[in-house]
């Protein structure tokens, strides 16, 4: 994915031309993975472009930074203003946003205390990431999510994405679309960049944070939408055999959206896209586009100049 070089990037307090958003090769984060990030989406609504669940994303960025002891030099409301200004400046109707806070260059060595935090926000137009038009083919990965006492999986941090990248590469090398990662205890955790849901006999289930899954904002959104549709919802540990035996499996994430799964480890699910998956995908579209008034509080409008 190349980002249009005509765009601007918010970098340490100012909107700068794309080419000027540079870092030094001795930046701490480049060597040791000391960064936290967010992926957020802007959707086109009848009232203009709007950022979906911006407050929840910035709150997670703050929690991730606190867990890793990365000091954020900006408060959430400052980052919210910067986000809206960036989207307006780049003139997007819809886009993906990448917030990144990382340790820059101060001194070499692991000690984090001497490296200043830099913060950037970039935006670009990015359609749904996973293959569209058919259910995904998933494979259980030989790579596992980390234990809560290694890098905390609840922090959305840059370093641990190496694990996700290894899992994704293993899956795609073997001809699958995406990897399912297990937790250290062997229960289902999540995919390389999406949470996972299973439906059986009308009950919707998804693994908890204690299974090493990121507390996904799309996951939380879909749990709310499912409850509002009257579905029974459970956040509880799942076995991979629960996925093999499910009526429906789907993934959720900001970049991916709501994506049906057709098979796991070559076990075909009963249909490539189940009924509840379809209803939730439609409810999600209605929420993010502002069509369903009950969820408009999740949208932060972008006033374009
Ligand atoms: N798990 C991982 C590892 C992710 O990278 C993501 C994407 N942020 C998700 C789950 C889904 O989270 P969200 O719905 O907040 O995008």
- The per-residue pLDDT for 268 is 97
pLDDT per residue as tens digits for the range 158-177: 999 999 999 999 999 999 99
- The per-residue pLDDT for 175 is 97
Residue whose CA is at the smallest distance from ligand 1 atom 11: 253
Atom of ligand 1 nearest to the CA of 254: 16
- The per-residue pLDDT for 36 is 98
Residues catalogued as catalytic: 156
Residue whose CA is at the smallest distance from ligand 1 atom 6: 193
Q: How far apart are CA 167 and CA 272, in angstroms?
A: 23
Helices (H), 74-154: 76-90
Output the ligand 1 site: residues, CB below 6 A: 39, 164, 190, 193-195, 214, 216-219, 252-254
Torsion angle, alpha carbons of 277, 264, 243, 161, to 10: -90
Angle between helices 76-90 and 54-68 (to 10 degrees): 130
User: Which regions in the chain score pLDDT beneath 50?
Assistant: none
- The per-residue pLDDT for 304 is 62
Residue whose CA is at the smallest distance from ligand 1 atom 9: 194
- The per-residue pLDDT for 69 is 97
Distance from residue 36's CA to the centre of ligand 1 (Å)? 13
Q: How far apart are CA 246 and CA 244, in angstroms?
A: 6
């Amino acid at each position: 994915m190349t980002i249009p070089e005509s765009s601007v990037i918010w970098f340490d307090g100012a909107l700068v031309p794309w080419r000027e958003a540079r870092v030094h090769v001795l930046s701490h984060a480049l060597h040791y993975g000391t960064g936290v990030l967010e992926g957020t989406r802007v959707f086109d609504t009848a009232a203009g472009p709007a950022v979906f669940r911006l407050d929840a994303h910035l709150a997670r960025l703050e929690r991730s930074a606190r867990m890793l002891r990365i000091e954020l030099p900006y408060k959430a409301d400052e980052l919210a203003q910067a986000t809206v200004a960036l989207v307006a400046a780049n003139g997007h109707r819809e886009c993906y946003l990448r917030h990144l806070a990382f340790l820059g260059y101060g001194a070499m060595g692991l000690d984090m205390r001497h490296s200043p935090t830099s913060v950037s926000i970039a935006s670009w137009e990015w359609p749904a990431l996973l293959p569209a038009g058919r259910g995904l083919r998933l494979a259980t990965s030989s790579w596992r999510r980390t234990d809560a006492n290694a890098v905390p999986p609840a922090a959305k941090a840059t370093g641990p994405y190496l694990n996700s990248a290894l899992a994704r590469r293993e899956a795609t090398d073997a001809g699958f679309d995406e990897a399912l990662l297990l937790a250290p205890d062997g229960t289902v955790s999540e995919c390389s960049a999406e949470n996972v849901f299973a439906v059986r006999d009308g009950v919707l289930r998804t693994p908890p944070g204690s299974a090493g899954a990121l507390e996904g904002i799309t996951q939380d959104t879909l749990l709310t939408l499912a409850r509002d549709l009257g579905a029974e919802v459970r956040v509880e540990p799942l076995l991979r055999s629960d996925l093999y035996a499910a009526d429906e499996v789907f993934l959720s994430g900001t970049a991916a959206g709501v994506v049906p799964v057709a098979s796991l480890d070559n076990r075909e699910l009963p249909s490539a896209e189940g009924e509840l998956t379809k209803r939730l995908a439609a409810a999600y579209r209605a929420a993010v586009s502002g069509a369903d008034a009950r969820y408009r509080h999740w949208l932060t409008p972008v006033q374009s100049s």
